[in-house]
Amino acid sequence: MELDTARTEAWLRAAAAAVTAREAELTALDTAIGDGDHGSNLRRGFTAVLAGLDAEKAGGTAAADRSPGILLAAAGRTLISTVGGASGPLYGSALRAAGRALPGASAGPDEVAAALGEALGAVRSLGGAQPGDKTMVDAWAPAAATFAEAAGQGLAAASAAAAAAAEQGARATLPLVARKGRASYLGPRSAGHLDPGAVSTALLFAALAEACRER
Amino acid sequence: MKKLINSPETVVADALAGLAAAHPELAVDAAARVVRRARPGAPGKTALVSGGGSGHEPLHVGFVGPGMLDAACPGEVFTSPVPDQVLAAARAVDTGGGVLFVVKNYTGDVMNFALAAELAAEEGIEVATVLVDDDVAVQDSTFTAGRRGTGATLVVEKAAGALAELGAPLAEVAALGRRVNAASRSYAVALTAATVPAVGRPGFELPEDEIEAGVGIHGEPGRRREPLRPARELAAEVVDTVLADHGLAPGDEVIALVNGMGATPLLELYVVFGEVADRLADAEVRIARSLVGNYVTSLDMAGFSLTLTRADAELLRLWDAPVATPALTWC
């Protein structure tokens, strides 16, 4: 199985659905240790991503112009232009970097692994966060690494493993003390709360697993 | 939640429509979310662009006009603007002299302005950035995102705006802005939390008889919770906290800003200012200029912040220079 245009679109649509369905939960997490807008900002961004996908479909864009890389890069640009805050540039740059790494009409598991690595690199270079800083990196890093390790088992298995790793990474942010972003102002008081960005990253990987499930 | 809004989703757009209706001297681009002067600055003038989340009004849109900003980019409530907005603002106000971004030190603002600066540079627009980080409540900046930008933003925008109006080149205006930021310290206390319209509930719970000391302008937690006390004691604590960090010496002069967080009446702000003035007199720090009012707010938070900027002759000259904006006007 390869990541083709249909699965990439399904990934983005599933991510949008998840962000919308879990908006209140993301906002509640962000209210505890941030400024309470993570859910509404991501919903606004992914709603715009959906509108972009729909417009392209309605406009009858040629298949060659809807490769996985082009779809991801376009979604990234939309997130940068609509989300604001830190999560807009971070998710937007991640998807753009992944998109740039996927030039073909479809991509095998190894190529997807490399693209996810590029995405993680973009997040880390823009935000400067290390694993353990209680940020989205704590979900991205194990997810990307697990995907690469499991790539030999195929796209569906690697995606499922990465989603589980992202989920576990997000849960592991609970006891951490934040060292980046707005939660860092809380110092020790940030411990005992999940990082909202790590949780939304887990949603993104769960959406990838859903789009790449064996049917 | 009781608010004078049509809907949480449209609050920023509706406020911009009102700003446009009230201030014909401003050009409000509702689609691009850019507020600029209707009459552009002189050709070659260094242009000043700032921006940040909405909810801190009059910062930044109320500071657009001769002697201060050339354009401002309001984001969603408490959310930084996106790079497209900042780029559109830079394009609109650059007349060849380059653009200075005045950015408050928050992770999102820093990232979005940095992306915009890259895009502007690709288009041949010269950009420099002043990062404002004056909030002494954040102590351990090695393990945090660093000190937050608060009240000093107004002082930076006023002084840098005045220098730009005098024809100073971008590098000089940027250097002045950084110098003003380095000479400024702020500290705030909250009596109540702000309610973000889209959230509908206060950002934190504070009992009737407690304050949050060191609060941030988005309701970020401060250093600690404390009992509410008379204004004299609160003002003394705030002055002492700022002085302890500032390193001001007896005989130094300051610009003193007592800023309301949005829901505190001017009557109370003047009570506070009187106490601040007494405490500064005890420390033999002279108030050269003062400003009292709601300038860097946090929606409907009650409380105040104190900003002290060490003053010298050049800074006072720039502070006194004419300014004509919706929120700050003198000649």
Closest-CA distance, A155 to chain B, in angstroms, reads: 33
Q: Give the pairing of strands B303-310 and B184-190.
A: antiparallel
Active site residue B56: yes
Q: Which residues of B touch A24 (CB under 8 A)?
A: none
Burial (CB count <10 Å: 0-12, 13-18, 19+), residue A179? buried
Alpha helix segments (H runs only) across chain B: 11-22, 83-93, 107-122, 152-165, 170-182, 231-246, 266-282, 313-320
Q: Where are the domains of chain B?
A: 15-183, 184-310
The C-alpha atoms of residue A148 and residue A12 are separated, in whole angstroms, by 21
Active site residue B246: no
Closest-CA distance, A180 to chain B, in angstroms, reads: 5
- Here the CATH number for the domain that contains residue A195 is 1.25.40.340
The C-alpha atoms of residue B46 and residue B161 are separated, in whole angstroms, by 9
Subunit contact A36:B115, Cβ cutoff 8 A: no
CB A190 within 8 A of CB A134: yes
Per-residue pLDDT, B141: 64
Query: Best interface-test mutation with A: which of B12, B77, B79, B218 has the largest number of A CBs within 10 A?
Result: B79
Q: What is the pLDDT along chain A (215 residues), one digit of tens a residue?
A: 999 999 999 999 999 999 999 999 999 999 888 877 899 899 999 999 999 999 988 887 777 789 999 999 999 999 999 998 899 999 999 999 999 999 999 999 999 999 999 999 999 999 999 999 999 999 999 999 999 999 999 999 999 999 999 999 999 999 999 999 889 988 888 999 999 999 999 999 999 999 999 87
CB-nearest partner of A181 from B53, B107, B221: B107
CB-nearest partner of A81 from B76, B84, B106: B84
Cβ–Cβ contact B187 with A under 8 A? no
Alpha helix segments (H runs only) across A60-105: 68-82, 87-100
The C-alpha atoms of residue B315 and residue B40 are separated, in whole angstroms, by 25
Subunit contact A184:B145, Cβ cutoff 8 A: yes
pLDDT along chain B (331 residues), means of 10: 95 98 98 96 96 97 98 95 97 98 96 94 96 90 83 98 98 98 98 91 90 91 92 97 95 98 98 98 98 98 98 98 98 92
Q: Which domain holds residue A114?
A: 5-211
Q: Which CATH number fits domain B184-310: 3.40.50.970, 3.30.1180.20, 3.40.50.720, 3.30.360.10?
A: 3.30.1180.20
B203-214: burial string, b at 16+ Cβ within 10 Å, e else: bbebeeeebbbb
**B154 CA to centre of own chain:** 5
Q: Count H helices, E strands: chain B?
A: 8, 14
Residue B300 pairs in a beta bridge with none
Subunit contact A37:B203, Cβ cutoff 8 A: no
Fold of B15-183: Rossmann fold (3.40.50)
The C-alpha atoms of residue B169 and residue B313 are separated, in whole angstroms, by 20
Phi and psi for B326 in degrees, rounded to 5?
-55, -35
Q: Which residues of B touch A41 (CB under 8 A)?
A: 76, 79
Q: Which residues of B touch A84 (CB under 8 A)?
A: 53, 75-76, 79-82, 108, 112
Query: Best interface-test mutation with A: which of B12, B33, B84, B107 has the largest number of A CBs within 10 A?
Result: B107
Closest-CA distance, B221 to chain A, in angstroms, reads: 6
CB B255 within 8 A of CB B308: yes
The C-alpha atoms of residue B131 and residue B101 are separated, in whole angstroms, by 8
CB-nearest partner of B107 from A27, A82, A180: A180
The C-alpha atoms of residue B185 and residue B243 are separated, in whole angstroms, by 8
* Number of domains comprising chain A: 1
Residue whose structure tokens are 């393990």: B143
Sheet containing strand B34-37, edge to edge, reads B26-29, B34-37, B71-77, B47-54, B99-104, B127-132
CB B142 within 8 A of CB B297: no
Cβ–Cβ contact B138 with A under 8 A? yes
The C-alpha atoms of residue A184 and residue B146 are separated, in whole angstroms, by 9
Residue A163 pairs in a beta bridge with none
CB B176 within 8 A of CB B163: yes
Cβ–Cβ contact B52 with A under 8 A? no
Phi and psi for B312 in degrees, rounded to 5?
-135, 180
Backbone torsion region of residue B20, taken as left when φ is above 0, otherwise alpha when ψ lies between -120 and 50, otherwise beta: alpha
Residue whose structure tokens are 């996908």: A53
Subunit contact A186:B106, Cβ cutoff 8 A: no
Closest-CA distance, A9 to chain B, in angstroms, reads: 24
| ipTM value for the complex | 0.84
Helix/strand/coil for B299 = coil
Subunit contact A179:B78, Cβ cutoff 8 A: no
